[in-house]
């Protein structure tokens, strides 16, 4: 195992297994399993890792323990050895997460930049692991002259996070293209699942409990220039509302057009989490928030973007509390003015 720094008890020798950490403030529970961890695992385990370093909002308290696996086998070993009472939380790029300032108890498994394999199973079917960046996957697919997931090019995140949330944009959703997934359970067992094992909705996916995504297989469509703009073409119905200019273009050109559209309408490059609230049926959360007068307003270091009212920006010194309080106030004001109760799209996790 790659040992980062002081483990507060994890690095004790085999004879000390089960002893308490040296300091009362050190993370405790994993000390009971330090011996197998230190002899078998090849990943990196860190105590008290600030999650503000790993979320796109740049806020969030520490993970009691933070594990970056070397590969899937290593991660399976890690899960096998974790005592069942230790809470586990998985994260990818942290681009849809509000981690509270008190941090997360137990172990956070971090897949971003790891579990990074992309393989072609045939000329239309791609297998990718959960840590693969979805913009990268979209580009690789487009370079192979296949169409379908161009919309992912502008969604910062890992494949695991995209599967967990049914990430999508411009009418497309990732699960439209998924044929099967591979998961890992709390005991380190791997499972092959089909789409039928999941209830898939708007930015939400329900599947077998206590399983996390380690890979997925996606089936794409070949791009035929002559068909791209004609009715009944291979372009799926879900993509029908994509910008007209992009519709008739090659996958790579379509990606460029979608990214340009994002740059024009969203505060790209500033610390945010994308859309904070889900769009209510038949309306847009951003429109309601703007009409309720929130653009440019804020609390502490967090404010509502002038460019897109459903984005909350960390101006540098925001706390998770600032953001959560701002979200609450926005929700109350939209409810009061329009009778619509906005539902958070971001996942709020951890202790206050
Ligand atoms: C500028 C910007 C624009 C955005 N635009 C869009 C958009 O157009 N459409 C859209 O859908 N989203 C958008 N988002 C939100 C976000 O990028 C997506 O939701 C993305 O899919 C999250 O992936 P992630 O790897 O960052 O997941 P994280 O934020 O790390 O995790 C999100 C959730 O997924 C779970 N999770 C993570 N990995 C796994 C796994 N391997 N197995 C099981 N569960 C897992 C986590 O536990 C958590 O509950 C945007 C965000 C930003 C910052």
pLDDT tens figures, 139-181: 999 999 999 999 999 999 999 999 999 999 999 999 999 999 9
User: Residues of the chain with pLDDT > 90: what percent?
Assistant: 81
What is the DSSP pairing of strand 118-122 with strand 125-129?
Answer: antiparallel
- Residue 225: which pLDDT band, with cuts at 50, 70 and 90? confident
Q: Is the pLDDT of residue 207 over 90?
A: yes
Check if 275 is active-site. Answer: yes
| Nearest ligand 1 atom, CA 158 | 25
User: Residues of the chain with pLDDT > 70: what percent?
Assistant: 82
Check if 150 is active-site. Answer: no
Q: How many Å apart are CA 243 and CA 92, to the nearest integer?
A: 29
What is the pLDDT of the chain when averaged over all its residues?
A: 87
Q: Is the pLDDT of residue 206 over 70?
A: yes
* Spatial CA neighbour of 142 closest among 259, 309, 25, 232: 259
Q: What's the rounded mean pLDDT across residues 282-291?
A: 98
Residue 169 Cβ < 6 Å to ligand 1: yes
In angstroms, the Cα distances linking 39 to 6, 12, 18, 147, 192 are: 17, 11, 15, 45, 29
- Residue 197: which pLDDT band, with cuts at 50, 70 and 90? very high
Q: Write out 248-309 in H/E/C secondary structure.
A: CCCHHHHHHHHHHHHHHHCCCCCCCCCCCECCCCCCCHHHHHHHCCCCCCEECCEEECCCCC
CA 122 to mean position of chain CA atoms:
27
Q: Is the pLDDT of residue 266 over 50?
A: yes
Amino acid 29: pLDDT = 52
Amino acid 67: pLDDT = 97
For ligand 1, pick from 98, 164, 216, 345 the residue to mutate: most ligand atoms within 8 Å of CB.
164
For the chain, the 3-state helix, strand and coil shares in percent, each to the nearest 5, are 30, 25, 45
Secondary structure class of 222 (helix, strand, coil): strand
pLDDT tens figures, 68-92: 999 999 999 999 999 999 999 999 9
- The rounded Å distance from CA 175 to ligand 1 centre is 14
Intervals of CATH 3.30.465.10 along the chain: 118-265
Are the CB atoms for 206 and 198 separated by under 8 Å? yes
Amino acid 278: pLDDT = 97
Phi and psi of 97, rounded to 5°? -125, 130
Q: What's the rounded mean pLDDT across residues 173-198?
A: 97
Q: Which CATH class is domain 2-110?
A: alpha beta
Amino acid 39: pLDDT = 58
Amino acid 230: pLDDT = 42
What CATH number was assigned to the domain covering residues 118-265?
3.30.465.10
Intervals of CATH 3.90.78.10 along the chain: 285-349
pLDDT tens figures, 97-128: 999 999 999 999 999 999 999 999 999 999 99
Are the CB atoms for 254 and 225 separated by under 8 Å? no
Amino acid 37: pLDDT = 54
For ligand 1, pick from 57, 93, 96 the residue to mutate: most ligand atoms within 8 Å of CB.
96
Q: What's the rounded mean pLDDT across residues 324-350?
A: 98
Indicate the fold that domain 285-349 takes in CATH.
3.90.78
Are the CB atoms for 310 and 275 separated by under 8 Å? yes
Q: What is this structure's pTM?
A: 0.88
Intervals of CATH 3.30.43.10 along the chain: 2-110
Element (H, E) at 99: strand 97-99
Q: At what angle do helices 134-143 and 251-265 cross, to 10 degrees?
A: 150
Q: How many Å apart are CA 195 and CA 159, to the nearest integer?
A: 15
Check if 203 is active-site. Answer: yes
CB neighbour class for 64 (10 Å; exposed up to 12, middle 13-18, buried from 19): buried
pLDDT tens figures, 15-41: 222 223 233 344 545 555 444 555 578
Tokens of 201: 């909705």
Q: What's the rounded mean pLDDT across residues 325-347?
A: 98
């Amino acid at each position: 195992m790659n040992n980062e720094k002081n483990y507060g008890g994890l690095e004790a020798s085999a004879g000390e297994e089960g002893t308490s950490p040296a300091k009362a403030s050190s993370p405790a529970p994993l000390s009971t399993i330090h011996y197998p961890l230190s002899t078998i695992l090849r990943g990196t385990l860190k105590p008290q890792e600030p999650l503000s370093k790993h979320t796109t909002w740049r806020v969030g308290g520490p993970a009691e323990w933070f594990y970056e696996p070397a590969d899937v086998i290593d991660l399976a070993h890690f899960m096998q050895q974790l005592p069942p009472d230790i809470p586990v939380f998985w994260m990818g790029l942290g681009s849809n997460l509000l981690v509270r300032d008190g941090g997360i108890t137990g172990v956070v498994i971090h897949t971003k930049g790891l579990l990074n394999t992309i393989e072609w199973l045939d000329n239309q079917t791609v297998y990718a692991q959960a840590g693969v960046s979805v913009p990268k996957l979209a580009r690789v697919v487009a370079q192979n002259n296949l169409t379908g997931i161009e919309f992912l090019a502008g969604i910062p995140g890992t494949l695991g996070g995209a599967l967990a949330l049914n990430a999508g944009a411009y009418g497309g959703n990732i699960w439209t293209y998924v044929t099967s997934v591979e998961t890992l359970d709390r005991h380190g067992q791997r499972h092959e699942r089909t789409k039928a094992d999941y209830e898939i909705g708007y930015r939400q996916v329900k599947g077998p409990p206590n399983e996390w995504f380690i890979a997925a297989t996606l089936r794409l469509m070949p791009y035929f220039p002559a068909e791209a703009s004609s009715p009944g073409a291979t372009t799926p119905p879900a993509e029908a509302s994509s910008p007209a200019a992009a519709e008739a273009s090659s996958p790579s050109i379509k990606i460029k057009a979608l990214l340009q559209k994002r740059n024009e309408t969203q505060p790209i490059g500033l610390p945010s989490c994308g859309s904070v609230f889900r769009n209510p049926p038949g309306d847009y959360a951003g429109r309601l928030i703007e009409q309720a007068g929130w653009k440019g307003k804020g609390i502490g270091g967090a404010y509502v973007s002038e460019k897109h009212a459903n984005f909350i920006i960390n101006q540098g010194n925001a706390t998770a509390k600032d953001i959560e309080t701002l979200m609450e106030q926005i929700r109350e004001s939209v409810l009061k003015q329009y009778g619509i109760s906005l539902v958070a799209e971001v996942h709020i996790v951890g202790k206050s």
